[in-house]
Amino acid sequence: TNASNAGSDWKHSSDTNLSESDDPADCVQQLSKDAVKNNVGYKLTTLQLAGYVSADKNGPVSEEETAPSDRWNKVVLTKGSDFADTPDLTDGVVYMDEYVNYIIKKLGDSKSATGIQGYSLDNEPVLWNDTHSRMHPEPVTIEELSKKSIEMAKNVKKLDPNAEVFGPALYGYTAFDHLDDDDQHTEWETVKAANNYHWYLDSYLDDMHKASEEAGTRLLDVLDIHYYSESARKGAEDRVQSVRTLYEKGFVEN
């Protein structure tokens, strides 16, 4: 149905913000059309790992309607049976591997001009329980994120071996360091001590590497981390330089 939910950015509203069409996968089809029109050769789209998607376009979702409820459809990463040519809109489930297969059937694979070249394993999972608390009210765990990332990456590579997988799409330095652990959650400290990791990214990369070795194919092509600069300098060129804060001793953003 192409319904989307804005989370706390806008009243936890499920609506037509991304698309008013009922054509399955309309958003990614429009992405492809716009990219071709503007001579953009590389297209990246997001695959949902948080567990639920909007089931309707009926506006704000109350706390009492937090998933699971009839305001949401469940996300299953692997269907385990034949893919439908047209997604079933009545079963209350969205199969992510079936979604990728549908994209390929509609647009072509990653080698085609209209196909999708990159798939992001969701977006900023540490904020799921904050921005999208009606969908994923509990903090994401290291085990959950690795398990889902590996399963979804395997599905992508099976369906389109040349497509690139991006992850874990983390939002900022604290997530790079310890994912979503706080004083009440100590999963990271346990994992860190057991494996002599420096920060969480070591753990994620190690999990993806081990899974890649087992699968016989690379499951993570791009380490995707998001850095929000505090730079007050103007202009894209100057702001791009601000990432040097992360690795260049003595560099000052402003």
Query: CB of 181 within 8 A of CB of 188?
Result: yes
Cα angle 116, 114, 14 (rounded to 5 degrees) comes to: 60
List the beta bridge partners of residue 13. Answer: 60
Report the first-to-last Cα separation within the chain, whole angstroms: 45
Residue carrying the six token digits 């398990």: 147
Residues 6+ apart with CB under 8 A from 36: 113, 114
Task: Enumerate the β-bridge partners of residue 48.
Answer: none
Catalytic status, residue 98: no
Give the three-state DSSP class for 47.
Answer: strand
Identify the active-site residue in 98, 124, 144, 164: 124
Positions marked active-site: 124
